[in-house]
Amino acid sequence: MKVCILGAGAWGLAIADLLSSNNCLVTVWEFDKIVCDSLEKERKLTSKLPGYTVPEAIKFTNDILSAVNDAEVIINAVPTQFIRSYFSKISKIDFSKKIIVNVSKGIEASTGKDIREMFITEFETVTDDNFVILAGPSFAIEVALYKTPTAVVAACKNIETADKVRDLFSSSYFRVYSTDDVIGVEIGGSIKNILAISAGMTEGLGLGNNSKAALLTRGLSEMIRFGTAMGGKRETFSGLSGIGDIILTCNSSLSRNWQVGNRLAKGEKLEEIIESMNMVAEGVETCRIVKKIAEEKNISMPIAFTVYELLFNGMSPRDGIAELMTREKKKED
């Protein structure tokens, strides 16, 4: 199987390693030619995957057109807000006999579209039959470097395609389940990043386990409300791309979004945090668009709305907690 991975970040390389070990012919496209040449020669990305060496079988290229045209499976590992920047370069590709697998998470800030919508509206030959989301609790360094037992879910409206991707990715340390709930899996992967920012804040403020348990439980309720309103299945949010991703991302300093919240709680400015990070924290822009959609659809999301105020309107973390704790009393939902 010929596979092209778009994006040579930590997750793109982890996926490349996995598929190469599954006997796929893997080419990774990197937009920055200097980085691309360095990866081809040095086989390392120390800033994002310290201690990891890229197998010699994995090839790198700066030519996206040839890489995509030659592949049977195309995996998008480019951060959500940068995906559209490369569309024009591959606009004439016929994707009808290819499978597109997205491993990025988030909602496009400028349009409010999820990644599936972006691809399907941009390319006539990308359809619900050949577009797949792969998501779940998985840190790149644990997959690439340590081969830690990991479980994720592949979602496609055509369950046969989801099953093909499940079989392609499955290995002795990487277990993949399949589902047809694309919307639910995408929403879970997006909302958990907002919750991770809030979880990092609770840690940064030195709050205890009671606070974290309350935050994650009520955060799951918000994920379910938003996800079902958008067309996802309620049961999906009890699975790997819902509560599974919450457990992982909201409890570890390896999470970029957790780091943003943690550093905000300690007094750093958002602009300084973003500038200093060498990877993208998707939850920041996702929070902006989720708030807009939730307001339009009248979806109650007090945690997400508070995170928005903390990120963009200068609210202090302690004021945010006070506001959440003194909201109008209600029945648990």
DSSP state at residue 43? -
Write the CB contacts of 184 (distance below 8 Å, at least 6 apart in sequence).
155, 227, 232, 233, 236, 237, 241, 242
Q: Which of 98, 113, 164, 192 is catalytic?
A: 192
Beginning with the edge strand found earlier in the chain, give each strand of the sheet holding 73-76 in spatial order.
Answer: 59-61, 25-29, 2-6, 73-76, 99-102, 131-135, 150-155, 174-179
Alpha helices by DSSP H, listed for the chain, are 10-21, 33-42, 64-70, 115-122, 140-144, 159-169, 182-204, 209-229, 245-249, 256-265, 270-276, 283-297, 302-312, 317-325
192 is annotated as an active-site residue: yes
Neighbours of 166 (CB within 10 A): 21
Distance CA 309, CA 320 (A): 8
C-alpha radius of gyration, the chain, whole number: 19
Distance CA 121, CA 262 (A): 37
Distance CA 114, CA 131 (A): 12
> Do residues 116 and 186 touch, judged by C-beta distance below 8 A?
yes
- For residue 286, CA distances in Å to 194, 197, 277 come to 7, 11, 17
Amino acid identity, position 10: A
Q: How buried is residue 244: exposed, middle or buried, by Cβ count under 10 Å (0-12/13-18/19+)?
A: buried
Nearest Cα neighbor of 261 from 317, 208, 201 is 201
Phi, psi dihedrals of residue 254, rounded to the nearest 5°: -70, -20
The token pair that represents 279 in the structure block: 């990877």
Q: Which residues are catalytic?
A: 192
